[in-house]
Chains A and B, each alone.
Chain A
Amino acid sequence: MGGLYVNRTRLILVALVVVLACALPFVLSSYRVFQFNMVLVYAIVLLGLNMLTGFNGQISLGHGAFYAIGAYVAAVLMDHWGVPYWVTVPVAGVICFIAGFLFGLPALRLHGHYLALATFALGISMPQILKYKGLEEWTGGVQGIVILKPEAPFGLNISQDQWLYLFTLIIALVMFWLAWNLLRGRIGRAMVAIRDHPIAAEAMGIDVAAVKTLTFGVSALYAGVGGALGAIVVQFVAPDSFVALVSITFLIGIVIGGLASISGVIYGALFIQFVPNIADEISKAAPWAVYGLFLLAFIFLAPAGIAGFVRALWARLTTGSTRKKRAAQTQET
C-alpha cells in the first residue's frame, strides 16, 4: 500500500480510511480523541522526516528541534500577540521551512554519520536554547507557555476536542496530498536518485544541492506544522517536552512504520502514540526498552517496516500477477 501509483482499489481504500478517520471523534471518548489527534500530529512530522531520511537519505537525529520550533512559534504567537490558532500553523510551517533550509545548507557538505552527528547535537542542545534567559520573555523559560483550547467555529455543535481533531485531520489530509504529489513527481524521483546514486544523479543533471536543501526545508516545514498542531492539542509547551528523545522517537516512527513509505508514517505514528501507553503500565522506563528492542528487531528482521509487512500481505491477498509485480516494484517507495 505504500506505493505512489493510483488505482481503483487503492482509491477506495484511502477513501475508507478517511471516512473512518472522520467518524472517529464521534464514537470515541474524549481522551481517545486526544490520542488519535496526536497520532495525526505525529503522522505529519513523520511524513516530513521520512521525506528527508527515507526518500532522500539524509539522516536526521534532531527533528525534535524543528518540532519544538513549530510548537513555540504557535505558542508565542497565540500567547503574546493573540494570533488566532489557525494562523499560527502556516506561520510555524514557513518559519521552520526557513530554519530547515538554513540548516540544510551546511548539512549539504555532511554525509551519513556526520549529518547524524550534527543533527543529534541540534536535538540535544534544543531544550537549553529554549530555556535561555534572553528569550524568557517570549518562551516563558523553564515554565513554558500555557495555551487555551480553541472553540469550534461557525457555531458547530461539537466539543473542543472533536473540533481540534477535525481541524488537525483536515490539515493532515492536505499535507499528505501535497507530499504524495511532491514525491511522485520529478522532485520525488530526484530525491530517491540522490539517495541511491548520488554521483549518477549529479551526472544526470539533477541539482543535488538544491534538491537536498529543499528537502531539508520541506521536511522541517512538516515538523513545524506538526509542532504547532501538537502545541495547540496539548495546550502547553515547555523546554522539557522537547528533549533529544523526541527526535529519536520520530526516527523510531519512520523505521518501524517503514522507511520511504507514505502509508508507513501512519503505522509509525500509531506505534509511537500507543505502544508507550501499553508499555507504560509495566514501568516508566519500559516504553524505551520496548522501543529499543522493536527498533533492533525491525532493522534486522523487517527493514521495510510495518508498511513492508502490509505490502507483502496485500500482494499475497490480491490474486493476479500484475499487482504482485507492482508491489515488488514499489518496494522502495
Chain B
Amino acid sequence: MEAFLHQVFSGLANGAIYASLALALVMIYQSTHHINFAQGELAMFSTYLAWAMINAGLPYWAAFGLTVVASFFIGLIIERAIVRRVADAPVLTVVVVFIALLVILNSVTGWIFTYTIKVFPSPFPEEPLFGPYISSHEAGVVGVSIFVLVTLFLFFRFTPLGLAMRATAENAVSSRLAGIRTGWMLALGWGIAAAIGAIAGMMVAPIVYLDPNMMSGILLYAIAAALMGGIDSPLGAVIGGLTVGVLENIMGAYVVGTELKLTVALVVIIGVLIFKPTGLFGRSFVTRV
C-alpha cells in the first residue's frame, strides 16, 4: 500500500510536468491548429540556459525567472520569424518546419553544451517535508505547477490581453474586425507556451538529468496527456497530464515494467486518436482532409 501511494504521488508530480507541457501544446493548437513537435526541445534548450546561468553563479530563482523571460522571447521570435510564414501552408510543410526546429534546437544545444549528461539542481530541500510518500522536489513540482496553472487561469480569465488571446484563438477574423492585432496575439501565445515549457523543463531536469535528448520521452507523455484531455481543452490538458503521470507510474511499477513506459504513452496516443479523438473534454476534432 505504501509503495502504491508512493507511486501515485510521484506520478502526480510527473503528471504536473506533463500537464504543463501539454498545456503549452494546447495553447498553440487552439490558436493555429498546429501541433508543435519542437515544444519539448524548446523546453530543453531553456533548461540549458538556466543551467548556464546557475553555473555562472546566479541564485536559483533568479536564473529561473530570467530563463522564463528569455524563453518567452525565444518563443515569440520563433513565431514571428518562422512559424507565421507557414500559417496557411499544407500540413506536411508545417510538420517539416517543426521537425526542423526540433532538430536545430537539439543539435545547437549539443553543440554549445556537449552531449555529456549534467546534474541540474532542485530548489527544494533534500529531506522530505511532506510525509513519507512524496519527496520535497515532487511536492515542489506540484506546487510550482499549481502556481503556473492558476496564474494562467487568472491571466486568461480576467485580463483584457488574456481575453484578446482567447478571442484570437477562437475566431481570428472576428478578432481582427474588433481591431485586435492577431499576429501579435499568436506570437504572444508562442511566447507563453515556451515559458511554460521552460518551467516544465527546469522542474523535470533534476529528476531525469540534463541532456539534449531529455525531453523526447516527456513530450510523448505530454502529447498523450493533451490528446487524452482533448487537444483544444486547457482543463483537459491538466487532467490528462495528471492521469497520464499516475498511469505511467502504476503501469511501470505493476504491469509492463519500467522499460516499456514509453509504450504506454504510445498506446494512449493511438488509443485516444482512434476511439475518442475529441479526448475527455475536447470540443471539436478538426480533421484536415
Q: Tell me the A residues contacting B by CB distance below 8 Å.
A: 53, 57, 59, 61, 106, 109-114, 116-118, 120-122, 124-125, 128-129, 131-133, 198-199, 244-245, 248, 251-252, 255, 259, 283-289, 291-293, 295-296, 299-300, 303
Give the segment of B8-16, B31-39, B138-146, B155-163 that binds chain A.
Answer: B31-39
Residues of chain B from 244 to 289 with CB closer than 8 A to chain A in the complex: 257, 259-263, 265-266, 269-270, 273-274, 277, 287-289
Q: Is A129 a contact partner of B269 (Cβ separation < 8 A)?
A: no
10 tightest Cβ-Cβ pairs between the two chains A and B: A288-B107, A292-B104, A285-B110, A112-B91, A295-B100, A285-B111, A292-B103, A289-B107, A125-B262, A285-B107
Main secondary structure of the interface of A (DSSP, over half): helix
What CA separation (Å) do A198 and B91 show in the bound complex?
Answer: 15
Q: Is B273 a contact partner of A59 (Cβ separation < 8 A)?
A: no
Q: Which residues of A contact B260 (CB under 8 A)?
A: 128-129, 132
Evaluate whether A299 and B110 lie within 8 angstroms (CB atoms) in the complex, with A124-B220, A124-B262 already known: no
What CA separation (Å) do A255 and B260 show in the bound complex?
Answer: 32
Q: Is B289 a contact partner of A251 (Cβ separation < 8 A)?
A: no
Q: Which residues of B contact A289 (CB under 8 A)?
A: 103-104, 107-108, 111
Q: Tell me the B residues contacting A by CB distance below 8 Å.
A: 33-35, 37, 82, 85-86, 91-97, 99-104, 106-111, 115, 212, 216-217, 220, 223-224, 227, 257, 259-263, 265-266, 269-270, 273-274, 277, 287-289
Q: Is B259 a contact partner of A132 (Cβ separation < 8 A)?
A: yes
Evaluate whether A292 and B100 lie within 8 angstroms (CB atoms) in the complex, with A53-B92, A133-B259 already known: yes
Residue of B nearest to A291 (CB): B103
Q: Is B93 a contact partner of A286 (Cβ separation < 8 A)?
A: no
Q: Is A251 a contact partner of B262 (Cβ separation < 8 A)?
A: no
Q: Is B35 a contact partner of A111 (Cβ separation < 8 A)?
A: no
Q: Which residues of B contact A292 (CB under 8 A)?
A: 100-104, 107
In the assembled complex, the CB of B41 is this many whole angstroms from the nearest CB of chain A, namely: 10
Residue of B nearest to A295 (CB): B100
Q: Which residues of B contact A106 (CB under 8 A)?
A: 270, 273-274
What CA separation (Å) do A296 and B99 show in the bound complex?
Answer: 9
Main secondary structure of the interface of B (DSSP, over half): helix
What CA separation (Å) do A244 and B100 show in the bound complex?
Answer: 14
A sample of 12 more A-B contacts (CB under 8 A), given A286-B107, A291-B103, A295-B100, is: A111-B91, A111-B288, A113-B94, A116-B37, A117-B35, A120-B223, A133-B257, A251-B96, A285-B107, A285-B212, A287-B107, A293-B104
Q: Which residues of A contact B212 (CB under 8 A)?
A: 285
A113's partner among B34, B259, B263 (CB-CB below 8 A) is: B34
In the assembled complex, the CB of A150 is this many whole angstroms from the nearest CB of chain B, namely: 33
What CA separation (Å) do A176 and B275 show in the bound complex?
Answer: 37
Q: Which residues of B contact A248 (CB under 8 A)?
A: 99, 102-103
Q: Is A125 a contact partner of B111 (Cβ separation < 8 A)?
A: no
Q: Is B35 a contact partner of A251 (Cβ separation < 8 A)?
A: no
What CA separation (Å) do A112 and B33 show in the bound complex?
Answer: 11
User: Can you name 14 A-B pairs with beta carbons within 8 Å?
Assistant: A61-B37, A112-B92, A113-B35, A124-B216, A125-B262, A125-B265, A128-B259, A128-B261, A132-B259, A251-B96, A251-B99, A291-B100, A295-B99, A303-B93
Q: Is A199 a contact partner of B35 (Cβ separation < 8 A)?
A: no
Q: Is A118 a contact partner of B108 (Cβ separation < 8 A)?
A: no
Q: Which residues of B contact A251 (CB under 8 A)?
A: 96, 99
In the assembled complex, the CB of B187 is this many whole angstroms from the nearest CB of chain A, namely: 18
What CA separation (Å) do A117 and B272 show in the bound complex?
Answer: 12
